[in-house]
Structure formats: C-alpha cells, structure tokens
Chains A and B, each alone.
Chain A
Amino acid sequence: MLNTLIQAFALISTWEVIIAMLAASVYGLVIGSLPGLSATMATALLVPVTFYLSPIAAIATIVAASTMAIFSGDIPGALLRIPGTPASAAYADEAYAMTRKGEAELALGAGVWFSAVGGIAGTLSLMILAPPLAEIALSFSTFEYFWLAFLGLMCATLVARSSPVKAIASMFIGLLVACVGIENPGGVPRFTFGMTNLFGGIEPIPALVGVFAVAQVMRAMLTPEPPPIPKRKFGSIMAGQWRLTKKYRWQMTRGNIIGIIIGVLPGAGADMAAWVSYAMSKRFSKEPEKFGTGHVEGLVEAGASNNASIASGWVPSLLFGIPGDTIAAIAIGVLYMKGLNPGPTLFTEKASSMYAIYLMFIIANIIMIPLGIVMIRLASYVLRAPRSSVMPFIMLCCAVGSFAIGNNMFGVVTVAAFGIIGYVMEANGYPVAAMVLGIVMGTMIEQSFVTSLIKSDGSVLPFFERPISAILAAMAIGALIWPVLIWGWRRLKAASPAAAPR
C-alpha cells in the first residue's frame, strides 16, 4: 500500500504531468466560466490533445479540466445570472440574488470552497468504494455485465429532466449508432451502406464533440448575446467561509453524500446532483422562506454536491467501463486509448495508476482554491470576451480535433452530422446525454448480451438465474416500468372514466 502510494507519487511528480495539470486547470476555469460552454464540452475538446500525452498526464488533464469547469460555471451564474455550465443552473438565481444584495464575494467564495470540499469528499468515496466493489465485480459474468449496463442506461433515462419515453428513445438512437460498423458478433458490415469510412464504426468522441460543441455554436447563432458583465472590485473572497462551514456542516455533508450517490449512478452527473441537492436543502431547511432571496444555504449544499459527483462518477467508469456521467464517458474513451482498460483487475494490476488518479483528484481540488480565487478576480475581463471571438476558436478546435482523432476527414463529417442531430434532438426535448451514453456503451452491451445468449443457447432464462444477475435484472426492469406506473397513476388520478388505461 505504502509502496504503491510512493509509486503513484513518482508517477505524478513529472514535469509533463504538472504542466498538463496546470494548463488544463486554467483551460477548464476559462471554458467553464464562459456561458454556453459546458464542462462536458471542455473535456471533449481536450481529448485530441491527450493523444500526445503519456497516460497519466492525459488523465490529469481530464481530471483537472472537469473539476475546474464545474466550479467556474458558478462565476457567471453569480455575476450575470447565466450559468456557465448546466451544473450551476440549479442555483444561479440564488447566487445572483446574493450578488444584488452585495454579497458576491460570499457567494463566489462559497462556490470555490464548498466545491473543493465536495471534490475531496467525492475522491474519498472513490478511494473507499472502488476496491471492495472491484472484489465483487471479479466474479461477474456476462449476464451481470449485461444487466449492469442495462441498468446504467435506464438510470440515465430516469434522471433526465424530460419525458422518460423521449429519453429511452434517445438511448435507443445511441445504441443504434453503436451498431454501425463491422465490430459485431458476426464481423459483417452492418448499416455501413457500402461506405468504407463507416466500417470502423462511428467513434464516440467526434459524436460527443458534435453533440456538445457544434450544437452549442448552432444555438449561439440564434440566441442573443449575453449582456457584458459590469466591472467590479472584489473584497476578500475566502472571508467567512469557515464560519459557513461550521454553521452548515450538516447541509454540506448531506450535499456531499447526495453528490456521491448521484455520481455513482450511471448516467446522472453533476447537473442532476446540483438540482437534487438544492431542492433537498430547501425542503429540509429551517428557513425555507429565505430561499430565492439570496440565501447561502442552498449554495453550500448544491456546490458541495455537484463537485462530489465528478469524482464518484469515476467509480462505475473504472470498474465496469460504465460511465457515471457524460464527462466520465469521455474519460473512459481516454482510458481505453491509453491502455488502462476499465475493469475490476485495474485495481490490482495497475494499482499505482489508480492511486495516481486519486492523488490527482485531490491535488486538483486543492489548487482549485487559489486558482479559483484568481479566476474570480479576473472574471470581469474573461467574461468580457464577446461570443463572436470565442466561438470561432471552438469551431476550429472541432474541425482540427475531430480530424486528429483518426487523421481522417471523415471525423469532421461525423462532427458536423452529430452537431445537427444534437441540435434537433435538444430542440425537441430529446436528452442528448442519454444518446451519448448509448453510443459509448453500445458495443459493450451488445457483446455481453450476445455472448450471454450464445452461452445460454438462445434461452432468456439464465439471465435471471444467477443471484446477483437476478437482483440487477429486477432493478433494471423496475426502472423501465416506473415511468409507466407513474403515468398510469396520474391517468387514474385525473379520474375521468373515459380516460381509463387501455
């Protein structure tokens, strides 16, 4: 244990890792703070860069950029009432109300401080939860993997803030995209329409860049420019944070725990964690009437929650290759690329790399405090950058980055196509996150499904015979049926005899 820890320290104390981490932190802070550029997009655009780094440095950039971006989304939320990332949307109104009351320092300070605390709590959960789960996971067969992946996809649809039917449809679209190519049980070209470029299948990363980056530029074309930020001088940012920590320690702990749980659930990420925790905080608060008028309590809980979910989202990613959220989905792609294939054996064979990941998470959350304070002070300058000068850079990064993934122009076509798909889906209430998870997990779920069917000689019964597999199956089917039950119940409650369920 101590030996591995020393090895891990040696792994991360190279110049490459340190520089990569610092650069990615600054990048994450800037992208996260710009309205409309989300943390997922920041991470997706980073992937082409990670090709050229060593495995640990590559993971360091992903860890640092995503951690920073989730926090810095709070900055425009508090100053402009425009959340920089969806994860800050839950409490942007509250933070802006505080700014109007003249408490911008307290709101932003709470953002950086409780984000750091939450991030470290999430990392601890990753360290504590992952190894014992890996022990259990070693005895999993394809049946369990199939149900686990299926459960993950169902969770992704349950938590979407949209119609569950549309979320499930999005998931199927993603799985359908994953069907393309010759990497299937028969090794025959499937849905390639004779195009050689499609033989290798549709890469998840260009699809992600298209859905999250190009679609965002497309939306920017139609929405008015956000108002410029007023210049202001900040007082001490960390003042009063310790007092808040003592006063709201239960809220903070609750936020951390909720964030960890939501992070571990496949498909649900930081935005969900923030919404749930903010609602929870209001529900259990002693002074709920103060919410919405610039009250710091909800900020504490939700800020502690969304950053906690980032680290714990890596638990299912590292163990099963099932992403905890869209950022983890990108991280999985990078892990595979770097030969750190997710799976329970990762924790025994590559233990030092795992410890290095834990350490990087902790370091990222600690350096977030000073870097975050600098960022808050510079925010009035960064946020003055007009959209018309930022978006062209995003466009170029999309084009060059997607080309770099395979040194192939087809990647750029994929990005453009998925930009349109993502834009249309989002405009019509189909959650794109569910589709992304479908794309990322498609190959895995098909493999475990078909291998299981071959093992069972085409019978469905063995899917339910092993004890763990039966439990997972019950959970997954429950998740599938739940929206139907709610819908039927609402129909009944509407209590018109003509509207009885057919």
Chain B
Amino acid sequence: MRLPDQVTGLFLVGLGAAAAYGGWLLPPVPGQPVGPNIFPLVIGSGLALCGLAIALGIGRTFEEEEEIIPLEAGQAGPPTGKLYGLRALLPPALLLFYVAVADRLGFIITAALIVFVTSSALGARWKLSLPLAVMAPIVIHLIFSKLLRVPLPAGLLPMPW
C-alpha cells in the first residue's frame, strides 16, 4: 500500500481545500468576529499547504528507510501476488460485517464467524480455528456481557446466563 508521495500529497491538498471551503460556508455567530468557521479554515489551509509540500518532495530527506530484518535460512518470504495485498482489508471488512448482521444473528454466531475467518486467514488449520471459534465468543461474552454488563445482541443463539 505504499503510494507515491505525489498521490498522498495531492489527496491532502484536496482534503484541506475541501475542509477550508466547508468551514467557510458555515454560518457565523451573530455579533462575534469568529465562530465555528475559523478553525476548519485554518486547519484546512494548513493541511493543503502540507500536502503541497509533500507532493513537491519537501522533507523527504528526514524519512528513514524502513529497516528490513534479513530473513534467516529456512524462512520463507511473504508470498506476493496481486490479490495478496487485499487481505489487509479483511479485518475492517469483518468489523463492518459485525455491524451489519450482529443484531439479527446475535453476538455468539457473528463472533464465531469472525474468529474463524481471522484465524484461518492467518494460517491456522481447522483443528485450531474451529475450537477457537467456539470458545473465543463464549469467553468474550462472559467477560463483557456477564461481568461488565455490555448489552450484546442475543439474536438466534442467546446464552443461558
């Protein structure tokens, strides 16, 4: 996900300009010189300036190149492929999945699915990930719902306690 500095810089210019413009549009407080508009205006302009500087490559010399620990013998490097990078999006996707279905399916079932997918994606065999998917939601449910009284959705499979 390493993007060229020009891309991130120009994105920040856009974001800053949008924030400044959005702040400028806000209604002022009657009878006062400043209101809710001044802060976004300042922040947005600052951000746009920084974005411009980044796009122009200012400050690059300060960045330290990432230290790569050399692989020891017998250790495989990470596999590379087009779709491999998309795996990083799995955790946020799973969280959104939780938001979408937790109320209907209930905490236990949703959490079991999340645990199973996460641990499988990290390379666990089903011998590990399946028991984990059964145990982890129950443990978390015990701690948060029973001990800390967080109202977790019961859904299809309510817990007996």
Q: Specify which chain A residues have a CB less than 8 angstroms from the CB of B61 in the assembled complex.
A: 487, 490
CB–CB A409/B102 < 8 A? yes
Smallest CB separation, B50 vs chain A (Å): 4
- Known contacts A190-B26, A217-B91, A222-B78; A458 and B33 CB within 8 A of each other: yes
Can you list 13 residue pairs at the A/B interface with Cβ under 8 Å?
A: A186-B29, A222-B85, A222-B87, A387-B122, A389-B132, A392-B136, A393-B136, A399-B111, A417-B92, A423-B88, A424-B3, A450-B34, A453-B33
Q: Specify which chain B residues have a CB less than 8 angstroms from the CB of A173 in the assembled complex.
A: 12, 15, 47
CA distance A225 to B94 in the complex (A): 21
Residue of B at shortest CB range from A160?
B62
Q: Does A492 contact B (CB under 8 A)?
A: no
CB–CB A227/B58 < 8 A? no
Smallest CB separation, A163 vs chain B (Å): 4
Interface string of A410-432 (1 = CB under 8 A from B): 00110111011001100111100
Within the complex, which residue of B47, B87, B115 is in contact with A395, where a contact is CB–CB below 8 Å? B115
- Known contacts A222-B78, A222-B85; A191 and B19 CB within 8 A of each other: yes
CB–CB B92/A169 < 8 A? no
CA distance A81 to B87 in the complex (A): 26
- Known contacts A168-B50, A392-B119; A52 and B148 CB within 8 A of each other: yes
Smallest CB separation, B141 vs chain A (Å): 9
Residue of A at shortest CB range from B22?
A191
Interface residues of A (CB under 8 A from B): 48-49, 51-52, 81, 161-166, 168-169, 172-173, 175-176, 179, 184-188, 190-191, 214, 217-225, 227, 386-389, 391-393, 395-401, 403-404, 407, 409, 412-413, 415-417, 419-420, 423-424, 427-430, 446, 449-450, 453-454, 457-458, 483, 487, 490
Sorted nearest first, the 7 A-B pairs with minimum C-beta distance are A458-B33, A388-B124, A165-B59, A186-B36, A388-B122, A163-B59, A169-B50
If A173-B47, A190-B26, A218-B89 are given as contacts, then 10 extra A-B residue pairs at C-beta distance below 8 Å, sorted by A number, are: A48-B150, A49-B148, A52-B149, A176-B47, A188-B27, A393-B115, A396-B114, A407-B151, A409-B102, A446-B39
Residue of A at shortest CB range from B87?
A221
CB–CB B51/A169 < 8 A? yes
Within the complex, which residue of B26, B37, B123, B144 is in contact with A400, where a contact is CB–CB below 8 Å? B144
Q: Specify which chain A residues have a CB less than 8 angstroms from the CB of B147 in the assembled complex.
A: 52
CB–CB B8/A430 < 8 A? yes
CA distance A214 to B115 in the complex (A): 14
Q: Specify which chain B residues have a CB less than 8 angstroms from the CB of A81 in the assembled complex.
A: 69
Residue of B at shortest CB range from A387?
B122
- Known contacts A221-B90, A221-B121, A407-B150; A185 and B98 CB within 8 A of each other: no
CB–CB A218/B39 < 8 A? no
- Known contacts A163-B60, A450-B39; A220 and B122 CB within 8 A of each other: yes
CA distance A336 to B101 in the complex (A): 33
Residue in B33, B36, B38, B99 with the greatest tally of chain A CB atoms within 10 Å: B36
CB–CB B28/A186 < 8 A? yes
CA distance A324 to B124 in the complex (A): 39
CB–CB B151/A389 < 8 A? no
Within the complex, which residue of A172, A224, A454 is in contact with B34, where a contact is CB–CB below 8 Å? A454
Q: Specify which chain B residues have a CB less than 8 angstroms from the CB of A407 in the assembled complex.
A: 150-151
Residue in B27, B140, B151 with the greatest tally of chain A CB atoms within 10 Å: B140
CA distance A224 to B68 in the complex (A): 13
CA distance A401 to B119 in the complex (A): 20
Residue of A at shortest CB range from B35?
A186
Q: Specify which chain A residues have a CB less than 8 angstroms from the CB of B50 in the assembled complex.
A: 165-166, 168-169, 172
Residue of B at shortest CB range from A386?
B124
Smallest CB separation, A88 vs chain B (Å): 15
Smallest CB separation, A394 vs chain B (Å): 9
CB–CB A214/B39 < 8 A? no
Interface string of B12-34 (1 = CB under 8 A from A): 10011001001100111100111
Q: Specify which chain B residues have a CB less than 8 angstroms from the CB of A386 in the assembled complex.
A: 122-124, 128
Q: Specify which chain A residues have a CB less than 8 angstroms from the CB of B103 in the assembled complex.
A: 409
